[in-house]
A = this chain, B = another copy of it.
Amino acid sequence: MKNKLVDYRKIFHYSQDKLAEKLGVSRQTIISIEKGKYNPSLPLAMIIAEVFQAKVEDIFFLEEEDYK
């Protein structure tokens, strides 16, 4: 999966720290998602979308490797 978390975060002028706090997760989690180290859980992804007033599909994108 790829995502545009960094872009959305910057549009809203949130630091990783501030976003983490808003979402109720650790800053590490934000970094790891942004860097593509792993995918957020579904509820976290939905809360992220909500915070940015977007749909999950606007922020996260499936890739070939996601279909097995």
Interface residues of A (CB under 8 A from B): 1, 24, 39-43, 45-47, 49-50, 55-57, 60, 62, 66-68
Contacts and interface: CB of A to CB of B under 8 A. Distances in A.
Contact of A43 (B46, B50, B66): B66
A42 B42 CA distance: 5
A41 B39 contact: yes
B57 A46 contact: yes
A39 B44 CA distance: 11
21 contacts: A1-B42, A1-B43, A24-B67, A24-B68, A39-B41, A39-B42, A39-B43, A41-B41, A41-B42, A42-B45, A42-B56, A42-B60, A43-B62, A45-B45, A46-B66, A47-B62, A47-B67, A50-B62, A55-B55, A55-B56, A56-B57
